[in-house]
Amino acid sequence: MIKTAMALQPDGAALSVPDFPENRTSHDFLLGGAVTLKQPLDGYRAAVDAVLLAAAVSVAGHRDCKILDVGSAVGSVGLCVARRLEAARVTGVELQDDLYALFCRNVVENGFVGRVTPVQGDINNRDLPLGAESFDQVISNPPYYAGGTRPSNESRATAHQEGSADLAVWIGFCLKMVRQKGRITLVHRADHLDRIIGLLYGRAGDMTVYPIWSKASADAPLRVIVSARKGVSSPLKMRRGLVLHDEAGQYLPETDQLLRQPASLPGF
């Protein structure tokens, strides 16, 4: 049986914090220690992509910007957004029991009860307690792989491979949740950019494509961050993007600084 603890939110509502064995977690840090992160030793692990996606979020002009993080895992993206942007109010939805449990704990340990709200559930479930068009922005790091060899670790497999919610379902859910003219922002594999643009076409515009390059000498980008506004038809903008490493494989100074402190994505 999973044990739970309770933490009171500012409105008096209780946040249930499921227990997770300490000997199965690591205690890590993002943004140079500004965010603490407990995550499974064996299973899904937050990567650079989470920090870069969080750095792509802007809440300019909003006093309380309602943001939904779809597939939040242990909460890394939402926690980084909340640490950098005081006006952000983040809700994260996560399917897996173990990742959700750690997400709740990370919210408490970072002091974000009331500003970051974990929700457990499946985006295919119509009873998920989230209202359509109720968020100013939706952000997501969808599963990267449509097929191939499934990892032996079930948590990692669920996080990394498309299942009952493929990329079309994932993007459809994001568009459903964001208000008209609100923004959705995704990080994904660069070789799936055609799928992403195709799924957004006619439904969202004012699109920005921001490539993430492993090295300056790389023939193709490794990842892309794609941001678009629902119900808007402005033309697509292609940015220069960000190079992560020098030719020796070390982080470039600009990238290293971005990963070590709360900052916005340069040139986004």
List domains and CATH numbers for the chain: 4-260 (3.40.50.150)
Q: Where are the alpha helices (DSSP H) in 85-236?
A: 97-109, 154-160, 167-177, 193-200
Task: Check pLDDT > 90 for residue 171.
Answer: yes
> Residues 137, 185: contact at Cβ < 8 Å?
yes
**Of 148 and 62, the one with more pLDDT:** 62
The gap between the terminal CA atoms of the chain, to the nearest Å, is 46
Q: Kindly tell me the burial class for residue 194, based on how many C-beta atoms sit within 10 Å of its own C-beta (0-12, 13-18, 19 or more).
A: exposed
Q: What does the CA dihedral 251, 253, 255, 261 come to, rounded to 10 degrees? A: 120
Beta-bridged to residue 205, according to DSSP, are: 229
Pick the range with the lowest mean pLDDT from 157-166, 204-213, 220-229, 230-239: 157-166
Report the pLDDT averaged over residues 159-173. Answer: 75
- Cβ-proximal residues to 116 (8 Å cutoff; 6+ apart), any chain: 75, 78, 79, 82, 90, 91, 92, 107, 110
Question: How many Cα atoms are found within 13 Å in the side-chain-facing hemisphere of 183?
Answer: 19
Average pLDDT, the chain: 88
pLDDT attached to residue 16:
66
